[in-house]
């Protein structure tokens, strides 16, 4: 995945698929990586123009670190790439950013897909890292993201451990997490008018099932699909099920159009 990373000005991103294809923009979470979306890129990249912008969580000046700054980055990126409309998909913090972007730019949104999205409630590392230096602690917390602990392989655990062990990165993680809590969207979701797909792991410990149900209640044109034996990242843990749900949703939009 890293070998496919493009750098253009201030933007870093992966993009696959035909240039004239309908755009699917994927937004990763706070500890997410571009590799989280390999299954989506491989499945949809033949027909759609699939793009994964790298959110500048660790590149922003410390005083600018916030969810709002990430939304602004996404807005600038879409304009830079001259996408007319996007199907935006976000996991965890990426879902939060997707919703804020959609609220500010409804004319650019074709559809929204949320999976394990923050914005209402989330329970991850909290607002600090009391055992930041403990590899076993980070390993356990990373494993808790998934229903099947073995999904959290050594490469993934090492990546999270390196992030929280780096003081500058850890500070940015905490600031971003606190900013997300302040940007609760409970009183704004009724403004979402775009067709919205919710794909939720039944065993999600970070954004529990009740969160998916609440999103479904508050977003008018939304449909909720459960994925069993699955945690916070269905597109990683159950890629075939996830892709099937997403494909049916996107094809349904084309029929309605």
Whether residue 237 lies inside any domain: the answer is yes
114 part of a folded domain:
yes
Residue 49 dihedral angles phi and psi, to the nearest 5°: -90, 100
Confirm whether 158 is domain-assigned: no
The Cα–Cα gap between 58 and 39 comes to 25
* Domain annotation covers residue 169: no
- Give the list of residues 6+ apart from residue 151 with CB closer than 8 angstroms, or none: 233, 236, 237
Q: Residue 151: inside a domain, yes or no? A: no
pLDDT at residue number 4: 83
Mean pLDDT by 10 residues, the chain (257 residues): 77 95 95 86 96 94 93 97 97 96 97 96 54 80 92 90 88 90 92 97 96 97 97 97 98 81
Q: How far is CA 191 from CA 90, 99, 105, 240, in A?
A: 18, 10, 12, 32
Number of domains within the chain: 1
- For residue 72, the domain's CATH number is 3.40.50.1820
Q: Compute the distance between CA of residue 193 and CA of residue 252 in angstroms, rounded to an integer.
A: 17
- Phi, psi for residue 12 in degrees, rounded to 5: -125, 130
Residue-number span of the structural domain to which 233 is assigned: 2-124+184-256
In a domain, 137, yes or no: no
What pLDDT is attached to residue 35? 78
Assigned domain for 18 exists: yes
Which residues, in sequence order, are bridge partners of residue 87? 24, 111
Question: Is residue 132 in a domain?
Answer: no
């Amino acid at each position: 995945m890293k070998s496919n990373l493009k750098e253009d000005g201030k933007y870093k991103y992966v993009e696959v698929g035909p240039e004239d294809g309908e755009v699917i923009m994927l937004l990763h979470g706070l500890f997410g990586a571009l590799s989280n979306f390999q299954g989506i890129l491989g499945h949809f990249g033949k027909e759609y123009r699939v793009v994964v912008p790298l959110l500048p969580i660790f590149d922003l000046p410390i005083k600018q670190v916030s969810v709002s700054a990430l939304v602004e980055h996404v807005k600038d990126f879409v304009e830079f790439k001259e996408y007319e409309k996007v199907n935006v998909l976000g996991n965890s913090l990426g879902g939060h950013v997707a919703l804020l972007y959609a609220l500010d730019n409804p004319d650019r949104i074709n559809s929204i897909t949320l999976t394990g999205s923050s914005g209402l409630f989330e329970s991850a590392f909290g607002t600090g890292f009391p055992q930041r230096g403990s590899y076993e602690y980070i390993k356990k917390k990373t494993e808790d993201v998934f229903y099947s602990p073995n999904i959290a392989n050594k490469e993934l655990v090492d990546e999270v451990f390196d992030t929280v062990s780096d003081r500058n990165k850890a500070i940015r993680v905490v600031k971003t997490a606190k900013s997300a809590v302040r940007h609760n969207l409970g009183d704004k979701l009724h403004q979402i008018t775009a067709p919205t797909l919710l794909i939720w792991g039944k065993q999600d410990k970070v954004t529990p099932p009740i969160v998916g149900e609440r999103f479904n209640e508050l977003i008018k044109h939304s449909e909720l699909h459960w994925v069993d034996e699955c945690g916070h990242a269905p597109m990683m843990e159950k890629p075939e099920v996830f892709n099937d749900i997403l494909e049916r949703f996107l094809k349904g939009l084309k029929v309605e159009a």
